[in-house]
Structure 1
Amino acid sequence: MTKLAFLGLGVMGGPMAGHLKAAGYDIAVFNRTLAKAEAWADRHGGTCAQTPREAAEGADFVLACVGNDDDLRQVCLGPDGAFAGMRPGAIFVDHTTVSAAVTRELAQAAQQLGLGYVDAPVSGGQAGAENGQLSVMCGGSASDYDAAAPVIATYARICRRMGEVGAGQITKMCNQIAIAGLVQALSESLAFAKKSGLEVEKVVEVISQGAAGSWQMANRHKTMDQGQFEHGFAVDWMRKDLAICLAAADEVGASLPVTALVDQFYKDVQRMGGGRWDTSSLIARLG
């Protein structure tokens, strides 16, 4: 039986690891807050490890979904890191949204140890993780990707190799850039409709059937209109992702004027106390 380790059991990682256990994989889990890992193991079964190294020992694949570049380094490197416990030939799959720079750094460290590495950030939010319907964009060698793809398919609606190591993270940046501009435009549209005396629900019913329609419009317009922002990816995390996008754009000479502007709008939301609100909360700053 293929043996797995999963590092990071937050709102994304917890459900993803749950799908793997339900599919019959032998899985060990690690979370920096041990109580969370113990609660996961009590609910799903599997082994609860004290360190990333312990979780990774003997695993064919080690999967991670943590917070940021530094978090990823901490679970990978050092005497208690996952790399120290992985056997040569095992593959590390990173679902965290991080910079392409740290991805290449860790992939090189993995290669020196005889390990495979696939960067595989995801899109679809908490609902996508819980329902096993994530979009997964991957970077890595064709052989590492082909080996990891059946495991990833357990919680993916679509999984594609985008190129060599780092290509998955670059693709995730494209995703976040597209979302940022779209949510701001939707916020302005709904706020304008409301201030003009129109019924938001009727407006959306009509315009969603044409070129203006989007997943955000279909799934978030009601909660945006009601000022409810507890339904998805947090503003704090979006700002982390947009900072990665803007830094990468500088490296390649790309211009992201709308992304830079929306990043500042999210900063306004943070100042309003909305750092943990979901990204649709851009509408709150429009009054």
Structure 2
Amino acid sequence: MKVAFLGLGVMGYPMARHLRAKGHDVTVYNRTFSKAETWVSEHGGRAARTPREAAQGQEIVFACVGNDDDLRAVTIGPDGAFAGMDKGAVFVDHTTASAEVARELYALAREKGLAFVDAPVSGGQAGAENGVLTVMCGGDADVFARVEPVIMSFARACRLLGPSGAGQLTKMVNQICIAGLVQALSEGVHFAKKAGLDVEAVIETISKGAAQSWQMENRYKTMNAGKYDFGFAVDWMRKDLSICLSEARRNGAHLPVTALVDQFYSEVQKMGGKRWDTSSLLAVLER
């Protein structure tokens, strides 16, 4: 298919590569144009100077940018993708953003004869590099059926969870669960150290039982070594948790642990750990 990809960060760069590797005709856009040129020099395709130019003539326009404002910047306005897309084309947003902006852009797209799917991802940079992301989608079933095979170019799982905004709401659930799991793992490792136990032996044992989690399997060794540069950054997690807490204020959900963990991440930031990965919650306990 003819597709565009807007945003060549640590996630978007390899996601666009997987689309190209699957044989799709890919046009890329990045705010820093030289990065788009580098991508094209490595993978082929075409680099565009504006989202509108990138979107012209494409069947699907993908995006993975920073936040709500970044997403609006690449979609609306005279240089936005919506201005360049043909009627019937689909915009698929992989940004972790608010459900509110997803619904806003879905409605605006429909007014213009376009389709919009909110499709945040889980799996981090490694998942993007290896093409094994989990994609959570919100939108119309017929539109999802059109884009799912293309999304699977860089995913191992992709599911429609409900109407517009449902993908973003599901990503919020994902981040809420991760926050609690990482804090619990941090406290467990901290306790084991204080108790004089062999942390590696303890975790290898309990990971075979009910305490097992992805975080435990993939992060305990680096946490135990005090190394926190192996994944999703604290600054990004705080952005995501802010979205979760804002949505909870709207829908009446009670998130006491999430709010507490968000404050613990603020302590990590004060320690200079803005770019440390999320497992750095242990550093707060070990100060």
TM-score class, shorter: over 0.9
TM-score w.r.t. the length of structure 2 is 0.99
C-alpha deviation, 1:138, in angstroms? 0.2
Q: Counterpart in 2 of 1:56?
A: 55
1:81 is the counterpart of 2:80? yes
Within 5 Å, give how 1:39-54 maps onto structure 2: 39-54=38-53
Distance between the aligned counterparts of 2:197 and 2:252, measured in 1?
42
Q: Counterpart in 2 of 1:35?
A: 34
Distance between the aligned counterparts of 2:37 and 2:273, measured in 1?
30
Distance between the aligned counterparts of 1:86 and 1:270, measured in 2?
40
Helix, strand or coil for the counterpart of 2:230? Answer: coil
Distance between the aligned counterparts of 1:38 and 1:187, measured in 2?
42
Cα deviation, 1:28-73, whole Å, max 9, x if unaligned, reads 0000011111111111111010000010000000000000000000
Q: Aligned pair count?
A: 286
Distance between the aligned counterparts of 1:205 and 1:120, measured in 2?
35
Distance between the aligned counterparts of 1:208 and 1:114, measured in 2?
50
Distance between the aligned counterparts of 1:200 and 1:128, measured in 2?
27
C-alpha deviation, 1:22, in angstroms? 0.5
C-alpha deviation, 1:146, in angstroms? 0.5
Q: Counterpart in 2 of 1:127?
A: 126
Distance between the aligned counterparts of 2:46 and 2:142, measured in 1?
28
Distance between the aligned counterparts of 1:248 and 1:209, measured in 2?
35
1:240 is the counterpart of 2:255? no
Distance between the aligned counterparts of 2:116 and 2:143, measured in 1?
7
Within 5 Å, give how 1:203-242 maps onto structure 2: 203-242=202-241
Distance between the aligned counterparts of 1:251 and 1:206, measured in 2?
41
Percent same amino acid among aligned pairs? 67
Q: Counterpart in 1 of 2:105?
A: 106
Distance between the aligned counterparts of 1:193 and 1:117, measured in 2?
48
**Aligned-partner residue type, residue 252 of structure 1:** N
**Which runs of 4 or more aligned residues in structure 1 lie more than 4 Å from their structure 2 counterparts after TM superposition?**
none
Distance between the aligned counterparts of 1:206 and 1:256, measured in 2?
31
Q: Counterpart in 2 of 1:258?
A: 257
**Aligned-partner residue type, residue 16 of structure 1:** M
Q: Counterpart in 1 of 2:155?
A: 156
Q: CA RMSD in A?
A: 0.6
Q: Counterpart in 2 of 1:6?
A: 5
Distance between the aligned counterparts of 2:283 and 2:39, measured in 1?
35
Cα deviation, 1:170-217, whole Å, max 9, x if unaligned, reads 000000000000000000000110121111100111110000111111
Distance between the aligned counterparts of 2:102 and 2:135, measured in 1?
16
Helix, strand or coil for the counterpart of 2:152? Answer: helix
Distance between the aligned counterparts of 1:88 and 1:18, measured in 2?
26
Where structure 1 has 5 or more consecutive residues not aligned to the other structure, the ranges are none
1:138 is the counterpart of 2:131? no
**Aligned-partner residue type, residue 231 of structure 1:** F
Distance between the aligned counterparts of 1:168 and 1:114, measured in 2?
21
Distance between the aligned counterparts of 2:138 and 2:234, measured in 1?
26
C-alpha deviation, 1:260, in angstroms? 0.3
**Aligned-partner residue type, residue 220 of structure 1:** R
**Aligned-partner residue type, residue 142 of structure 1:** A
